[in-house]
Structure 1
């Protein structure tokens, strides 16, 4: 399990607004390349966005689905990049010192992905998620989506 944290100088509503805009995921999720389509009712439970992840020539087309949503406090998604694997990712948002304390928790999303988890992959996933939260922070605080 990889857990990352970030203090963001924006309200939980502002941070959740970024999470609720699936078009932004390519701007802040490390490894996400293109958002191809978004269900109109995103981020309702069961809604999806379709994406490409990775770098050429290893770009994978798949989707991410909402498992749980409690705006502006919690969002849990199931991110797929098959055959590479899947992940269950939770975002917990709590008001903190005039801003928001965000916790991002990622675990393997299926049996095959669990087989690939080891201390090295956990460190790499943690580093990726720390950077993703840093990018989410920039967007939530400034409203600027592209670096």
Structure 2
């Protein structure tokens, strides 16, 4: 099981603003391309994002379903990449001083990713999470909030 955390110098509500914006999913989720929201209003439980995941021409169609949504502190997702299988991804956001501590916990559920889950695969997940959390931190800290975008100004 891959569990990582990162400190973000913004309040949990600001972090949640990015997590709850389906249009920004590809900005922090490593390998995600062409995101399209389906089945509801992200991140309500049952909402699905459809996307291509991969590198260059090596892509696979995938989707992510929201399984649990408790703003601004918990978001649990099930990410599926077709025949490769699916994984549970739990994200928690907690106040930490003037900022937030984000924890990401991922483990395979079904398919090849579950059958082939080994220590080396877990190491790869750790590296992916390190990059993904760094990207999420950068998007949250340097990005504009929804209110800022509506007002047309930068934070």
With the length of structure 1 as denominator, give the TM-score of the two structures.
0.92
Query: Which whole-Å CA distance do the structure 2 matches of 1:134 and 1:62 have between them?
Result: 23
Contact 1:11 1:100 in 2 (8 A): yes
User: Do residues 44 (structure 1) and 44 (structure 2) align?
Assistant: yes
Q: How far apart are 1:85 and its partner, in Å?
A: 2.2
Q: How far apart are 1:37 and its partner, in Å?
A: 3.3
Q: Which has the higher contact order (CA 8 A, sep 6+)?
A: 1
Contact 2:9 2:98 in 1 (8 A): yes
Q: Write the mapping of 1:1-147 to structure 2, written as runs, cut at 5 A.
A: 1-110=1-110, 112-143=112-143
Q: Match of 2:16, SS?
A: helix
Note the aligned Cα RMSD (angstroms): 1.4
The answer for unaligned runs of 5 or more in structure 1 is: none
Comparing 92-101 and 18-27, the one that deviates more:
18-27
Contact 1:23 1:38 in 2 (8 A): no
The answer for unaligned runs of 5 or more in structure 2 is: 145-155
Query: Which whole-Å CA distance do the structure 1 matches of 2:86 and 2:61 have between them?
Result: 13
Q: What's the CA shift string for 1:5-35, capped at 9, x where partnerless?
A: 0000011010011110121121111111221
Contact 2:10 2:98 in 1 (8 A): yes
With the length of structure 2 as denominator, give the TM-score of the two structures.
0.87
Q: Match of 1:44, SS?
A: coil
Larger radius of gyration: 2
Q: Match of 1:23, SS?
A: helix
Q: How far apart are 1:38 and its partner, in Å?
A: 4.2
